[in-house]
Amino acid sequence: MEERNIRFNTKAIHGGQKPDEAYGAVMPPIYQTSTFAQSTPGGHKGYGYSRSANPTRTALEKALASVENGNHGLAFASGLAALDAVIKLLAPGDEVISGNDIYGGSYRLFNRVFANFGIVFRFVDMQNSKEITDRITKKTKLIWVETPTNPLMNIIDIGMVSQIAKQHGMLLAVDSTFATPYLQRPLELGADIVMHSATKYLGGHSDVVAGALVVRDAGLAEKLRFIQNSTGAICGPMDSFLVLRGIKTLHVRMQRHCENGSAIASFLKAHPRVEKVYWPGFEDFPNHAIAKRQMKAFGGMVSFVPKVGNAAQSIGILEQLEIFTLAESLGGVESLAGHPASMAHASIPKAKRDKIGVVDTLIRLSVGIEDKEDLIADLERAML
């Protein structure tokens, strides 16, 4: 059947996949090998060395391309390795316009690593098109968007930014980790590159660190594949297998993440000890209309500010939780809770954090797929 004509849930399971050629294995074997026998120099069956390509990774890369409705997938050792490859498309002197409330590790890679190589980053409020256009110069080559953002769930209008990028001949890359291809497909909205931390929802079981890029353009894919092979931060065969297995249940998990996320967000919003809840599904949430247009539903990530006096009291709530595990990361089947100011966003200076709203009392929840009644009871008890 023509790949383009099958629906998302079918793609999640079958997209780009076929039984293994050797014995018909339904799941691609974990080709745990560094190298492949050659009959004569260069005479191999499509695979010469596993940094360049590995059949298990190819299976994952095809699945990634399929679920994002792209043409080419690339799997990396981590989300940040995928981002690293995107920035390596640039040269010293080139400029990047990035959202100002992106994942802390992305910010660190931009500001503490690539800035040293002469790449210039301008951080803006991506919700405001004028802020973007004001920062464009002849040297601007790339716009980096994360949506929804981590941890404040700001929604960036991908179509709007894509128009700006196209007008000025710049690339648009979107970190779509929070949304997953089940909820949002940036390539369909005009992005050139979509990036994922596959560690999160794509893997889905908190058992692997991996990253992904998907593009449509063959020339861009070739450049990225060259960088992937030249720098070597590839996704290994075992990790590729795990992410591929995760993708097969992505749609089912996401339905429950969304259902539970909605229930928890509403519970928190009604709670007398909660000051503010960040969840794009609320009708009065800024840019809710854009979220509704570009996403299928609103996801399982919920951040909130409890009515407490200081960070220690917020941390006190986190320490009381029993079903939610206090941990970094997100997107697994189990519910996790974190304290952005001292965990994922600690690499962003406090003044900058306060300015964008990542206050010291903020709590971030990755709502899992347990029974929502138990999750609510856990939060209720911890907040007493």
Binding to ligand PLP, residues 130-149 (CB under 6 A): 146
CA 294, distance to chain mean position in Å, is 16
| Strand-by-strand arrangement of the 363-366 sheet | 274-278, 301-306, 363-366, 336-338, 325-326
| Pairwise CA distance, residues 193 & 282, whole Å | 29
Which among 233, 192, 231, 232 has a CA at the least distance from the CA of 215? 192
Instruction: Specify the DSSP class assigned to residue 234.
Output: B
* Residue span binding ligand PLP (CB under 6 A) among the ranges 174-182, 287-295, 301-309, 333-341: 174-182
User: Contact between 208 and ligand PLP (CB under 6 A)?
Assistant: no
Residue whose CB is less far from ligand PLP, 205 or 271: 205
Per CB under 6 A, which of residues 5..44 are in contact with ligand PLP? none
- Residue 275: count other Cβ atoms within 10 Å of its Cβ: 14
Side chain identity, residue 344: A
> CB 177: neighbour CB atoms within 10 A?
27
Pick from 56, 197, 228, 260 the residue near ligand PLP by CB under 6 A. Answer: 197
Judged by CB under 6 A, does residue 200 bind ligand PLP? yes
Cβ count within 10 A of residue 289: 12
Minimum CB distance to ligand PLP smaller for 119 or for 153: 153
Identity of the residue, 308 or 358, whose beta carbon is nearer to ligand PLP in the bound complex: 358
Interface pick for ligand PLP out of 98, 154, 177, 314 (rule CB under 6 A): 177
Binders of ligand PLP in range 105-124 (CB under 6 A): 105-106
Per-residue binding string, ligand PLP, 344-373, x by CB under 6 A, is ------------------------------
Residues with active-site annotation: 51, 103, 175, 200
- Among 196-204, 251-259, 361-369, 372-380, the segment contacting ligand PLP (CB under 6 A): 196-204
Q: How many helices (H) and strands (E) does the chain have?
A: 14, 12
Query: 84 or 192: whose CB is closer to ligand PLP?
Result: 84
Task: Give me the least distance between CB of 196 and ligand PLP, in Å please.
Answer: 8
Q: Is 201 in the site for ligand PLP (CB under 6 A)?
A: no
Residue 145's closest CA among 121, 176, 105?
176
CA distance 197 to 211: 5
Tokens linked to 381 = 């008890």
- Return d(Cα 379, Cα 158) in angstroms, integer: 34
Q: Contact with ligand PLP (CB under 6 A): which of 78, 206, 262, 335?
A: 78
With CB under 6 A as the contact rule, the residue among 63, 80, 214, 244 that binds ligand PLP is: 80
Binds ligand PLP (CB under 6 A): choice among 17, 69, 150, 184: 150
SS3 358: coil
Q: Does residue 70 touch ligand PLP according to CB under 6 A?
A: no
Residue 319: Cβ-neighbour burial (10 angstroms; 0-12, 13-18, 19+): exposed
Contact window for ligand PLP (CB under 6 A) among 86-94, 192-200, 240-248, 358-366: 192-200
When asked if residue 153 is in the footprint of ligand PLP (CB under 6 A), the reply is no
Q: Which two tokens stand for residue 294?
A: 């570009």
Binders of ligand PLP among residues 309 to 328 (CB under 6 A) are: none
Question: Which residue carries 């590159």 as its tokens?
Answer: 193
Q: Is 209 in the site for ligand PLP (CB under 6 A)?
A: yes
User: Residue 72 CB, nearest distance to ligand PLP (Å)?
Assistant: 20
154 binds ligand PLP (CB under 6 A): no
Q: Over the range 190-217, which residues count as b (16 or more CB within 10 Å of their CB) and which as e?
A: bbbbbbbbbbbbbbbebebbbbbbbbbb
Binding site for ligand PLP (CB under 6 A): 78-80, 103, 105-106, 146, 150, 175, 177-178, 197, 199-200, 209, 211
